[in-house]
């Protein structure tokens, strides 16, 4: 019985072609042995490295003159993307803002937060899924 | 060897509770179910009396019990629980999670049949239902073994190279509710043996934060599971180290399997749990009558000691693997499947068949074992089992 | 009428097997437990276990013991008892107390046979030619403990008849176990009841 020469079992090739990938100084590895046990994420705050600003098609524009600093936009923002300083709203973290429009909807003051079309995207270091 | 232990009369449940107390878990979550209830009750009494400083959480279901224990363990403390049958079944998804997250949780299973119809007595259907969950599983024949396993389990689970949860199993009612003699260690001895569990990395380490429970997509999931499988495959070596240390302390040495009169055995019985004791008495009787029969008792069921099992059975002429549960729709029961696979891997397959016994707590007697041995002795001669699966002790004969 | 059976099992050599018949609430389970504990205290190997079914106060139940000089390995029911203890003689009407008994089985029965001749006759019928001992344990229990819970005096009677364990060892184990649940006066009453039974048990 002749057996055709076949290839040996090949290792998995990541379709994203991500050989190694840094997030906060920690590197994914190519070998299963080197992965963190149990699939745990062995560092904290990794969500800050995931820039979701590229998801939006509208962006909120902040006008400090119209703002009464009631902080409702900050309370309701699902992405913690409203920036504060010393208890006052200073702007929007556009790296993370997904453009959902809740801040503009909740704002009681005319013109403090308005939605505009936005075709720009933040400079992402990683591809967003 | 130091033999600093004392001889007491306890039920399996009392022995289990004592082991738990001496291991000093930081957190125990509890929910009652017969026949485990007395074990938890006794442990709760230890807590109430101040004999152990455990945070005892009485939860609303077994699913919650395992969830609570997983949460606690992830914060880097020693967490334990105990259950039976339908309680174990209710925590099914959490068992996979505990093992997948590599948490060193020790749990005591007091084996009981899974309902449908409801039955509170012993069989192994609950234990078999969890055999693929990734837990290490140790079976006890007696209250002594249940106690010893209960102490070693913590060390095994917490071993750096293992990091896998451990289920210690004792037979419901037969072991759990039978007062019997055993030797126990002092609180100090156990404290020193298990040590303190304070892992470097856990949710409590705020200097080096980490996350449990994030989603893992197809690009990494399989690799992480491969890693988990590797730990299971390599565990026997470390389990052996723990057993060796325990033997020095207690004078009792435990191996993955126990062989009884197997050296020259032509016929072999393979058994898990309390029926092994009855089998030994029956074997002595049949040996007197000239049957070269021996017993292979499996103690470490997961990871399955396939090399040792194949080696021990390779020279026999007939093997009867006895299952105390049904693997509905499979050609043979769970234990028989593992033995068959071991023999295939070991590349020597003597005639082998399955005998199902003791479902729902039905007693298996000396006479029953004698019948099994006689039939197996015939198979050793003919090479042909009567059927792939035989049933011991049914109403009305099969023939 | 009981059919005497031979006992061919050499594996049971040296193990004394005991079966208790009682009704739920009469203390058979507790007694089988402290009997096992006393056996261990006395340096023997032992098992003590009840049979579990739908228990209710008053329903017939059974409990078992094995006592042996050698390690007991079998984890199976006692089917051929050497000693049968009956805590409630009304069970004679519903339960075959002689089931599995052999020619040498000894019975210890809680019954008042002095005033109740009919009871004595039905008892003799149930056990056949076997050695049978009787005691009015209820009366002793009421005297010494205040309630007709016959387990402790029946243990006393059984120890006198069979000599399977020393009385004082069993009294110690029993007191230890009962004092976890009962006040000292009641425990002392149980001790007295056991000693009285030891003296007063008679042959049928």
A40 contacts B227? CB cut-off 8 A? no
For C10, which of B171, B174, B285 is closest by C-beta distance? B285
How many CB atoms lie under 10 A from the CB of residue B196?
9
Strands B179-184 and B6-10: antiparallel
**Selected residues 41-100 of chain A with any CB under 8 Å from a CB in chain B:** 41-46
Return the pLDDT at A22: 45
The 8-class DSSP code of residue B200 comes to: S
**Nearest to residue B14, comparing CAs of B136, B179, B128?**
B179
Largest CA distance in chain B: 70
**Nearest to residue B263, comparing CAs of B296, B230, B214?**
B296
Cβ neighbours for B19, distance < 8 A, ≥ 6 positions apart: B146, B147, B148, B150, B151, B190
Return the pLDDT at A28: 53
Q: What is the layout of strands, in order, in the sheet containing B389-391?
A: B257-260, B293-298, B267-272, B318-323, B352-356, B389-391
For B210, which of A16, A35, A43 is closest by C-beta distance? A43
| Nearest CA-CA distance, residue C73 and chain B, Å | 4
C74 contacts B366? CB cut-off 8 A? yes
**Which candidate in B104, B161, B210, B228 is best for mutational testing of the A interface (most A CBs within 10 A)?**
B210
Question: Does the pLDDT value for residue C51 go beyond 60?
Answer: yes
How many CB atoms lie under 10 A from the CB of residue A95?
16
| Nearest CA-CA distance, residue B274 and chain C, Å | 6
Q: Which two tokens stand for residue B187?
A: 């609180």
Round to whole Å and give the CA distance between B354 and B319: 8
For B212, which of A14, A40, A45 is closest by C-beta distance? A40
| Nearest CA-CA distance, residue A40 and chain B, Å | 5
Tell me which chains share at least 3 CB pairs under 8 Å with chain C.
Answer: B
Round to whole Å and give the CA distance between B9 and C38: 9
Round to whole Å and give the CA distance between B157 and B99: 10
The residue with tokens 């899924």 is A129
How many CB atoms lie under 10 A from the CB of residue A106?
15
Chain C residues with a Cβ under 8 Å from any Cβ in chain B: 9-11, 32-33, 36-37, 39-41, 45-50, 52, 72-77, 79
CA-nearest residue of chain C to B183?
A: C40
Confidence class for position A14, pLDDT limits 50, 70, 90: low
Mean pLDDT, rounded, for C22-34: 91
Q: Which two tokens stand for residue B206?
A: 């705020």
List of chain C residues whose C-beta atoms are within 8 Å of the C-beta of residue B275: 75
A12 vs B: CB within 8 A:
yes
Q: What are phi and psi of B58, to 5 degrees?
A: -90, 110
Architecture of domain B6-250: 3-Layer(aba) Sandwich (3.40)
B160 vs A: CB within 8 A:
no
Round to whole Å and give the CA distance between C201 and C199: 6
**Nearest to residue B220, comparing CAs of A36, A22, A126?**
A36
**Selected residues 161-220 of chain B with any CB under 8 Å from a CB in chain A:** 163, 201, 208-212, 214, 216, 219-220
Return the pLDDT at C173: 87
Return the pLDDT at A126: 45
Query: Does residue B305 have a cis bond before it (omega within 30 degrees)?
Result: no
Round to whole Å and give the CA distance between B250 and B242: 12
CB A92 within 8 A of CB A30: no
Strand partners, B106: B80, B166
CA-nearest residue of chain C to B367?
A: C9
Q: What is the CATH topology of the domain spanning A51-117? A: Alpha-Beta Plaits (3.30.70)
Chain B residues with a Cβ under 8 Å from any Cβ in chain C: 7-9, 120-121, 141-142, 171, 173-175, 177-181, 274-275, 277-278, 280-282, 284-285, 288, 363-366
Return the pLDDT at C180: 86
Return the pLDDT at B347: 81
Cβ neighbours for A21, distance < 8 A, ≥ 6 positions apart: A27, A28, A126
For B211, which of A28, A37, A40 is closest by C-beta distance? A40
Q: What is the CATH topology of the domain spanning C12-203? A: Pyruvate-ferredoxin Oxidoreductase; domain 3 (3.40.920)
Return the pLDDT at A15: 61
The residue with tokens 């969500």 is A47
Return the pLDDT at C93: 85
For chain B, give the number of residues. 399
CA B31 to chain centre: 20
Q: Which of A21-25, B318-322, C144-148 has the highest mean pLDDT?
A: B318-322
CA-nearest residue of chain B to C79?
A: B365
Round to whole Å and give the CA distance between B304 and B232: 10
Return the pLDDT at A45: 85
Round to whole Å and give the CA distance between B331 and B339: 13
Look up the CATH number of domain B257-391.
3.40.50.920
CB C62 within 8 A of CB C19: yes
Cβ neighbours for B180, distance < 8 A, ≥ 6 positions apart: B9, B10, B11, B12, B142, B143, B144, C36, C46, C47, C48, C72
Q: Which two tokens stand for residue B141?
A: 């024949």
A117 vs B: CB within 8 A:
no
Between B and C, how many residue pairs show a Cβ–Cβ distance under 8 A?
A: 73
A12 contacts B227? CB cut-off 8 A? no
User: DSSP per residue over A9-65, as a string?
Assistant: PPPP--TT--S--EETTEE--SSGGGSPGGG-B-SS-GGGG--GGGG-SEEEEE-GG
Round to whole Å and give the CA distance between B71 and B61: 15
CB B292 within 8 A of CB B330: no
Question: Does the pLDDT value for residue A9 go beyond 80?
Answer: no
Query: Does residue B353 have a cis bond before it (omega within 30 degrees)?
Result: no
For B102, which of A28, A32, A38 is closest by C-beta distance? A38
Query: Is residue C47 exposed (0-12), middle (13-18) or buried (19+ Cβ within 10 Å)?
Result: buried
| Nearest CA-CA distance, residue C109 and chain B, Å | 24
Cα–Cα distances in angstroms (integers) from residue B194 to residues B76, B212, B232, in the given order: 15, 25, 21
Return the pLDDT at C13: 63
Question: Does the pLDDT value for residue C10 go beyond 70?
Answer: no
CB B25 within 8 A of CB B210: no
Round to whole Å and give the CA distance between C23 and C56: 9
Round to whole Å and give the CA distance between B123 and A27: 48
Return the pLDDT at B233: 95
CB C90 within 8 A of CB C148: no
What SS3 string covers C150-174?
CHHHHHHHHHHHHCCCCHHHHHHHH
C79 contacts B9? CB cut-off 8 A? no
Question: Does the pLDDT value for residue A4 go beyond 80?
Answer: no
CA-nearest residue of chain B to C11?
A: B281
Verify C-B touch: 3 or more CB pairs within 8 A: yes
List of chain A residues whose C-beta atoms are within 8 Å of the C-beta of residue B227: 32-33, 35, 37
Round to whole Å and give the CA distance between B76 and B205: 9
A25 vs B: CB within 8 A:
no
List of chain A residues whose C-beta atoms are within 8 Å of the C-beta of residue B70: none
Given CA atoms B218, B221, B227, B229 in this order, what sign does their dihedral have? negative
Domain range list for chain B: 6-250, 257-391
Question: Does the pLDDT value for residue A121 go beyond 80?
Answer: no
Verify A-C touch: 3 or more CB pairs within 8 A: no
Return the pLDDT at A26: 45
Domain range list for chain A: 51-117
Per-residue pLDDT of chain B (399 residues; tens, 9 = 90+): 233 348 999 999 999 999 999 999 999 999 999 999 999 999 999 999 999 999 999 999 999 999 999 999 999 999 999 999 999 999 999 999 999 999 999 999 999 999 799 999 999 999 999 999 999 999 999 999 999 999 999 999 999 999 999 999 999 999 999 999 999 999 999 999 999 998 989 999 999 999 999 899 888 899 899 999 999 999 999 999 999 999 999 999 999 999 999 999 999 999 999 999 999 999 999 999 999 999 999 999 999 999 999 999 999 999 999 999 999 999 999 999 999 999 998 888 999 999 999 999 999 999 999 999 999 999 999 999 999 999 998 888 665
Largest CA distance in chain A: 86
Q: Which two tokens stand for residue C124?
A: 């003799």
Q: For chain A, how big is the Rg over CA atoms in Å?
A: 22
| Nearest CA-CA distance, residue B54 and chain A, Å | 26
List of chain A residues whose C-beta atoms are within 8 Å of the C-beta of residue B219: 14-16
Domain range list for chain C: 12-203
C79 contacts B281? CB cut-off 8 A? no
Strand partners, A50: none
CA-nearest residue of chain C to B179?
A: C48
B179 contacts C46? CB cut-off 8 A? yes
Question: Does the pLDDT value for residue C95 go beyond 70?
Answer: yes
Between A and B, how many residue pairs show a Cβ–Cβ distance under 8 A?
A: 58
A15-24, C37-46, C50-59, C130-139: segment of lowest average pLDDT: A15-24
Q: Which two tokens stand for residue B378?
A: 């015939």
């Amino acid at each position: 019985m002749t057996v055709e020469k076949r290839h040996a079992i090949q290792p998995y090739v990541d379709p994203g072609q991500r050989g190694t990938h840094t997030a906060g100084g920690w590197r994914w590895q190519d070998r299963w042995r080197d992965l963190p046990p149990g699939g745990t994420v062995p560092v904290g705050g990794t969500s800050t490295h995931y820039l979701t600003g590229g998801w939006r098609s509208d962006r909120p524009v902040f006008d400090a003159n119209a703002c009464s600093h009631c902080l409702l936009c900050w309370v309701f923002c699902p992405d913690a993307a409203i920036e504060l300083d010393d208890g006052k709203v200073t702007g929007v973290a556009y790296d993370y803002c997904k453009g959902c429009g809740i801040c503009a909807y909740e704002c009681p003051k005319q013109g403090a937060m308005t939605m505009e079309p936005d075709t720009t995207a933040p400079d992402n270091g990683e591809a967003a899924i | 060897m130091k033999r600093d232990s004392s001889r007491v009369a306890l039920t399996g449940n009392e022995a289990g509770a004592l082991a738990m107390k001496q291991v000093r878990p930081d957190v125990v979550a509890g929910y009652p179910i017969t026949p485990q209830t007395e074990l938890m009750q006794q442990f709760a009494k230890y807590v109430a009396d101040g004999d152990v400083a455990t945070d005892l959480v009485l939860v609303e279901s077994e699913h919650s019990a395992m969830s609570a224990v997983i949460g606690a363990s992830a914060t880097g403390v020693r967490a334990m629980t105990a259950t039976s049958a339908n309680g174990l079944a209710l925590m099914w998804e959490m068992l996979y999670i505990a093992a997948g997250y590599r948490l060193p949780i020790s749990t005591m299973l007091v084996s009981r049949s899974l309902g449908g119809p409801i039955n509170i007595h012993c069989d192994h259907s609950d234990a078999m239902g969890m055999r693929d969950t990734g837990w290490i599983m140790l079976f006890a024949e007696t209250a002594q073994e249940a106690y010893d396993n209960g102490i070693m389990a913590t060390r095994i689970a917490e071993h750096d190279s293992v990091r896998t949860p451990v289920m210690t199993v004792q037979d419901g009612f037969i072991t759990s509710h039978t007062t019997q003699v055993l030797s126990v260690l002092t609180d100090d001895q156990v404290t020193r043996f298990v040590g303190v569990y304070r892992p470097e990395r856990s949710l409590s380490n705020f200097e080096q934060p980490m996350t449990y429970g994030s989603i893992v997509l197809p690009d990494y999931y399989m690799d992480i599971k491969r890693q988990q499988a590797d730990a299971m495959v390599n565990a026997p070596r470390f389990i052996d180290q723990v057993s060796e240390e325990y033997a020095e302390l207690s004078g009792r040495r435990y191996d993955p399997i126990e062989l009884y009169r197997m050296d020259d055995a032509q016929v072999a019985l393979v058994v898990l749990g309390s029926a092994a004791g009855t089998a030994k008495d029956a074997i002595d009787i049949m040996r007197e009558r000239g049957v070269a029969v021996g017993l292979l008792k499996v103690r470490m069921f997961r990871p399955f000691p396939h090399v040792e099992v194949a080696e021990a059975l390779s020279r026999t002429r007939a093997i009867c693997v006895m299952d105390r549960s049904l693997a509905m729709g499979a050609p043979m029961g769970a234990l028989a499947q593992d033995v068959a696979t071991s023999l295939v891997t070991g590349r020597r397959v003597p005639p082998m068949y399955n005998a199902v016994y003791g479902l729902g707590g039905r007693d298996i007697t000396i006479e029953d074992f004698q019948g099994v041995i006689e039939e197996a002795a015939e198979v050793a001669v003919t090479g042909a089992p009567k059927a792939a699966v035989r049933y011991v002790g049914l109403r009305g004969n099969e023939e | 009428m009981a059919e005497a059976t031979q006992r061919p099992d050499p594996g049971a050599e040296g193990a004394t097997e005991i079966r208790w018949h009682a009704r739920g609430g009469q203390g058979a389970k507790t007694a089988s437990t402290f009997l096992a504990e006393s056996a261990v205290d006395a340096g023997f190997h032992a098992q003590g276990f009840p049979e579990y079914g739908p228990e209710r106060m008053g329903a017939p139940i059974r409990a078992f013991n094995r006592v042996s000089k050698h390690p007991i390995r079998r984890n199976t029911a006692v089917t051929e008892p050497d000693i049968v203890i009956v805590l409630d003689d009304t069970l004679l009407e519903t339960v075959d107390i002689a089931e599995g008994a052999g020619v040498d089985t000894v019975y210890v029965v809680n019954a008042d046979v002095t005033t109740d001749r009919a009871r004595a006759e039905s008892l003799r019928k149930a056990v056949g030619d076997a050695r049978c001992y009787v005691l009015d344990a209820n009366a002793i229990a009421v005297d010494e403990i205040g309630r007709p819970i016959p387990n402790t005096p029946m243990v006393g009677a059984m120890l006198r008849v069979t000599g399977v364990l020393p009385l004082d060892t069993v009294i110690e184990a029993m007191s230890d176990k009962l004092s976890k649940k009962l006040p000292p006066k009641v425990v002392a009453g149980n001790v007295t009841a056991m000693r009285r039974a030891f003296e007063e048990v008679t042959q049928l």
